[in-house]
Structure 1
Amino acid sequence: MLETPARIEPCGIEEQIPEALTDRVIEIRDAASDLGHDLHPESAAELRSLVRLMNAYYSNLIEGHNTRPADIEAAMAGRDPAPEKRALVQEAIAHIAVQEWIDALADTGNLPEPCDLAFLLDIHRRFYEAMPEDLRFVTHHGQRIEIVPGVMRAPGPEVEVGQHLPPSAHRLSDFMAYFSKRYLGLTRGRTGQILSIPAAHHRFNYIHPFLDGNGRVSRLMSHAMIRKAGIGGHGLWSVSRGLARGLRESGEYKAEMARADMPRQGDRDGRGNLSMTALHGFTGWFLTVMLDQIRFTSTMFDLTTLQMRYTALLRDLHPEDTRIVKLVDHVLRFGEMARGDAPIVLGLKERAAREVLSKAVSDGFLKSSTPKTPVRIAFPLAYRERLFPNLFTEAPLDIPPPPPLPGIPTR
């Protein structure tokens, strides 16, 4: 088994990039540029929090950890989960916190190079420092070993990932230095920033630098690369949802990752240790997943259709009172509202308007930082599936699938 860092080559598609892949990159860039453009920043911020919850839910689901979004949100609101759910809920909350940190760096223009080793170690450290003790140990070759936050695998019994044997622990520093250097170069151009996301995602997992948490770190790294490339849609879409669900069925992600491990298949299959054809296929599949999720979120968070779903919900709940519908619709459209503006918006006297406002807040449709500060939109947990069908469950939603990629084997 080769133990030189060039074992992960090809790290990207640098020569003779298939036209289908460049076209898909353009489609992704165009679709992402429109995402959330009609939303007020306050409404977008509330939805971004929901997307982080969704990302954590699906990232955990990929690892076989099925945690109900309601349990995660309840714990974040200060309610203690049941003992049998506590560890997985805390795992999800840790993921949300790390993604929020990444988003804050991106929003302020301070996001480092996502493939830089120091940044990746920081992701792992922040994630595992917040993990419950039950999930900070793994059993490896019969031994219970602690996962040290932000520290790569130590020499000892080597790991196996299915049929794949990652590099030996004593070579990890060289492999990760090579990884960081290669993707620093591959992500310099606008096309390269997007085109390299699938390859970096796979090659990181191929190296498998940590004893555990590699999949979660790679998905958070991919999220950071998406934000760095300027296609994050203000943090309003999640790649983890697409990876967990696949394009046709769940299970595709792991199968595609395993297929990308394929060694070079002869002289016409690139010049690296791994198959260039397999990398083409994985890149096409991953980019199509990204486009699919951007299109899904664009439909889900479109202001007009979101207003329609919210209005339909409120009319069902309050069939004889349209005032709360009018109030919530106004706040959704304009982002926030000073409490003193409620009489103007509703066309009511102050006391009556205050009663409607209090009802909207107590029912969870509006929220505010304090009882006197302006109100902003909220999406009550009890009606989450009604407002956002298909975020976590299966529900009819008319979203055209992304077109197939000609000449790119994605199976």
Structure 2
Amino acid sequence: MLEPPERIEPCFFEDGMPHRIADLAVELQRAAGTLGQGLHPDAAQELADFVRMMNCYYSNLIEGHNTRPRDIERALRGAEVDPERRPLALEARAHVVVQREIDAQWIQGAMPSPTSSAFLQWAHRRFYEEMPEEFRVVEHPDGTRTPIVPGQFRDTGDSEIEVGRHQPPSSERVGAFMDYFSWRFGTAEKHASRYIVAIASAHHRLNYVHPFPDGNGRVSRLMSHAMAHKAGIGGNGLWSVSRGLARGLREASEYKRMMDHADSPRQGDRDGRGNLSLKALEEFCEWFLAVMLDQIRFASSVFDLERLNDRYRALVKDVVDDRHAPDLISTVLRHGALDRGDAPLVLRVSERTARNTLRRLVDVGFLQSRSPKTPVRIAFPLDYRERLFPNLFADADINAPEPPDVSVFSRP
């Protein structure tokens, strides 16, 4: 029997947006609009690259791959990584590379519709082109292995798959489903609030279709990142949806539980008119948007200029034996870059003293420069990440707001 693409319905709330979801969409716009306020663009750009690494760390963690941040950083530099950890590090590097390209497309105004088949196939292709060979195969229950063709949807030659209790559309129907998916979610791009909600519903529905033999979860998270840009809540790349999905609002198991919950079929005449449960979609969207808001609020706290300045000054005071160093780091943080010749004026010291302070900060990695004569720019050394940005990769105390009060995460 022919499988109709309408099987992914409902995709939106045609009879009116639920109030709590509408309120979350408005709050997301407000919170994202103030994220990174006061940061110099150069400092924000440096932080955004740091967040990309965090994003790939958590995206890998969702897949059960625990990659050390230090290994990710080494892989990005092309440095040697321990052979046992190298494949995971290269997998993480692939994610960062693709996200950088997505961000560059957005900045240049060249990013296509994130829910289009063309964009999704491009993201999958670029991801697997960068992947190590050992992760470019699908292992089947019978022990056989099938190579993954980068960017190619499942087709008639692929084995059928199951995802938990969910049976995705058959391989021969994936093309039709993706045409419908692209059209359906593309229609939401002209409406800001509706498109913010579409970030949540498209995330689930793409995984429901499961268009690729493997890599669907990673592609869906990259798609959500791109959609956040398109919806105007990207926050200059200073927050990560993957961190929120990996951690949940209260516990890490929420993401998989809520994805499974959104697979639920329609429960009677009062549960919408589509194949899937409208109530389950509402609960999933409310949870997903609350996770996004939680992450934007967290990022606003950790990247708040005044708090970051205080933490950086305290760190420099502990690490660098130079009483002028905290003042210089504050100046560069606030202004993004500093000509070396201006350091004596900023510190009100002799040229020799200023030169020594600059050298100490560059040597320890707090400042960076293309050459000994070019301006210095702020840097955020990975070795001090927990002092500068508590709780990015591990639990630590930071003055961040409580997660939004959403009880959906506890539902089956």
How far apart are the structure 2 equivalents of 1:6 and 1:96? 34
How far apart are the structure 1 equivalents of 2:265 and 2:70? 43
- Contact kept, 8 Å, 1:280 with 1:409, in 2: the verdict is no
Q: Does 1:382 align with 2:371?
A: no
The alpha carbon displacement at 1:339 in A equals 1.3
How far apart are the structure 2 equivalents of 1:390 and 1:232? 21
5 Å-filtered alignment, 1:85-100, equals 85-100=85-100
The alpha carbon displacement at 1:187 in A equals 2.9
1:67-117 Cα distance to aligned partner (Å, 9 max, x none): 000111122223210000111100001000100001011112221110000
Identical columns (%): 57
Which one of 156, 163, 166 corresponds to residue 168 of structure 2?
166
Match for residue 286 of structure 2? 284
Match for residue 225 of structure 2? 223
5 Å-filtered alignment, 1:11-410, equals 11-142=11-142, 143-155=144-156, 156-318=158-320, 321-405=322-406
1:236-268 Cα distance to aligned partner (Å, 9 max, x none): 100000000000000110000000000000000
3-state SS of 1:231 partner: coil
1:341-371 Cα distance to aligned partner (Å, 9 max, x none): 1111121222221111111101100002233
Unaligned runs of 5+ in 2: none
Letter in 2 for 1:65: H
The alpha carbon displacement at 1:60 in A equals 0.3
- Contact kept, 8 Å, 1:343 with 1:350, in 2: the verdict is yes
Aligned length: 409
The alpha carbon displacement at 1:409 in A equals 7.6
The alpha carbon displacement at 1:317 in A equals 2.1
The alpha carbon displacement at 1:157 in A equals 2.2
- Contact kept, 8 Å, 1:242 with 1:293, in 2: the verdict is yes
How far apart are the structure 2 equivalents of 1:399 and 1:377? 24
3-state SS of 1:249 partner: coil
- Contact kept, 8 Å, 2:254 with 2:409, in 1: the verdict is no
1:270-324 Cα distance to aligned partner (Å, 9 max, x none): 0000000000000000000000000000000000000011111112224x63211
How far apart are the structure 2 equivalents of 1:111 and 1:309? 36
- Contact kept, 8 Å, 1:20 with 1:405, in 2: the verdict is no
How far apart are the structure 2 equivalents of 1:90 and 1:161? 26
The alpha carbon displacement at 1:398 in A equals 2.5
3-state SS of 1:82 partner: coil
1:193-229 Cα distance to aligned partner (Å, 9 max, x none): 1011110000000000000000000000000000001
How far apart are the structure 1 equivalents of 2:88 and 2:409? 36
Letter in 1 for 2:335: F
3-state SS of 1:83 partner: coil
3-state SS of 1:376 partner: strand
3-state SS of 1:56 partner: helix
The alpha carbon displacement at 1:13 in A equals 1.8
Moved more, 341-350 or 131-140: 341-350
- Contact kept, 8 Å, 2:293 with 2:404, in 1: the verdict is no
3-state SS of 1:187 partner: helix
3-state SS of 1:373 partner: coil
Distance change >3 Å, CA 338–CA 409, structure 1 → 2 = closer
How far apart are the structure 2 equivalents of 1:308 and 1:218? 37
3-state SS of 1:311 partner: helix
How far apart are the structure 2 equivalents of 1:180 and 1:158? 22
The alpha carbon displacement at 1:405 in A equals 4.6
- Contact kept, 8 Å, 1:238 with 1:293, in 2: the verdict is yes
- Contact kept, 8 Å, 2:125 with 2:151, in 1: the verdict is yes
3-state SS of 2:146 partner: strand
The alpha carbon displacement at 1:153 in A equals 1.4
Distance change >3 Å, CA 243–CA 409, structure 1 → 2 = closer
Letter in 1 for 2:312: Y
How far apart are the structure 2 equivalents of 1:394 and 1:366? 27
How far apart are the structure 2 equivalents of 1:231 and 1:369? 32
3-state SS of 2:145 partner: strand
How far apart are the structure 1 equivalents of 2:317 and 2:14? 55
How far apart are the structure 2 equivalents of 1:322 and 1:350? 16
